[in-house]
Amino acid sequence: MLSLESFFPRTKLGFFPSPIHRCERLSRELGVSVYAKRDDVSSGLAYGGNKVRKLEWLAADAIAQGCDTLVSIGGVQSNHTRQVTAVAAVLGLNAYTVQETWAEWEDPVYDKVGNILLTRIMGGHPILAGYGYSTTAKDTWENAMEAVRAKGGKPYAIPAGASDHPLGGLGYANFADEVAAQEKEMGVFFDTIVVATCTGSTQAGMVVGFAHQDKKRRIIGIDTADDAAMTRRAVSKIAHSTVEQIRAKGGHATDIKDSDIEINADFSAPGYGLPSESTIAAIRKAAELEAMITDPVYEGKSMDGLIQLALRKDIPAGANVLYVHLGGAPAVNAYYKAFEDKSNLTTLAKAARYEE
Ligand code: PLP
């Protein structure tokens, strides 16, 4: 156990531990035992998701520094900026969120519904500017921070996905302790974890947390950035810096090896924020079998990965798989076209690689 709360302040924002339940029908279909850990329902904050778990540690830091405005960045349909705005709302802070065009998804309501609508309802300040997915610091984000300062505010900078930040990996490192406690209670061991990965701190935190436990397991990061090399660099950087942060505070953490980081690039095409026919088929499958709603940007791709890796026996029969659901369902509104047209749907279903 890392016991991070002994070393780092945390502002509790979520309903943790998030529930784990067995997916009976999906398990039968795939021939492996599938459980879902529901970080998508782990908070009351505007539909939650994985950022709430990360932001618990950053919010404590923002408050300690006396900041009054959270400033972050994401895509137009960013789940992250919606959750940053939610956290700002409950803590009585302001939120400025740069919302860049990261995906060329043709839809007249793309910048009006789903995540960005929720951000607006919560009194956030989405700034629609900038172009292109990248986790590096952007001028658009710097400009937003400058604008806050110019108004006499004190900004707290939260990078894309709350990832490339000294505290970004803590939430999911702590998640590993949470899973171990739930396993003990449930009398199971999850030998395989399937998780969507993009800006990196979710997988990086998990890698750090699980590496520190006695029993080893396989963590499969399903790339959603459609740039597996970039995703690997991000995960690796954050994992190593999280280990350093923990040690700097007097905690213990195990060194991370390259082989601890598994990233599968098979399910990210045709691009960040763009679903393939296979993504859409996976979303339908999880919804039809388990009433579990996944989205075309992230969880639909990790669900596609889970389904296909199990059917290919890359995840062997008899495995105990924990599918970590990181949220993202509000985005489905902005992707209704992918589910709408009947002839299109037939084509999608036929093209799905694992369709019966
Ligand atoms: N799943 C959802 C729903 C997300 O919003 C994100 C955010 O980017 C991810 C997965 C990927 O997590 P990370 O960016 O920490 O790699």
Q: Is residue 58 part of a domain?
A: no
Beta strands in the chain (DSSP E): 20-22, 33-38, 69-75, 94-100, 125-127, 155-158, 192-197, 218-223, 262-264, 320-325
44 and 67 together in one domain: no
Q: Same domain for 325 and 253?
A: yes
Q: In this structure, are 211 and 125 located in the same domain?
A: no
17 with 137, same domain? Answer: no
Confirm whether 236 is a catalytic residue.
Answer: no
Is 221 contained in some domain?
yes
For residue 138, the enclosing domain spans 63-161
* 299 C-beta closer than 6 A to ligand 1: yes
pLDDT band at 106, cuts 50/70/90? confident
CATH number of the domain residue 188 falls in:
3.40.50.1100
78 lines ligand 1 (CB under 6 A): no
79 touches ligand 1 (CB under 6 Å): yes
- Pick from 32-36, 100-104, 155-159: least confident: 100-104
Whether 300 and 243 share a structural domain: yes
170-210 pLDDT tens trace: 999 999 999 999 999 999 999 999 999 999 999 999 999 99
Q: Are residues 41 and 70 in the same domain?
A: no
pTM of the model: 0.95
Find the catalytic residue in 78, 201, 241, 276: 78
Asked if residue 161 has its Cβ within 6 Å of ligand 1, the reply is yes
Q: Residue 286 C-alpha to ligand 1 middle, in angstroms?
A: 18
171 and 305 in a common domain: yes
The number of beta carbons lying within 10 Å of the beta carbon of residue 66 is 8
Query: Cα(181)–Cα(16) distance, rounded to whole angstroms?
Result: 12
69 Cβ below 6 A of ligand 1? no
Question: How many domains is the chain built from?
Answer: 2
Q: Do 218 and 247 sit in the same domain of this protein?
A: yes
Residue 228 lies in a domain: yes
Task: Choose the residue to mutate in 54, 79, 198 for probing ligand 1, maximizing ligand atoms within 8 Å of C-beta.
Answer: 198
Question: Taking residues 335-344, what's their average pLDDT?
Answer: 75
Judge if 212 and 344 occupy the same domain: yes
Are 204 and 172 in contact, with CB atoms under 8 Å apart? yes
Question: Which ligand 1 atom is nearest residue 221's CA?
Answer: 16
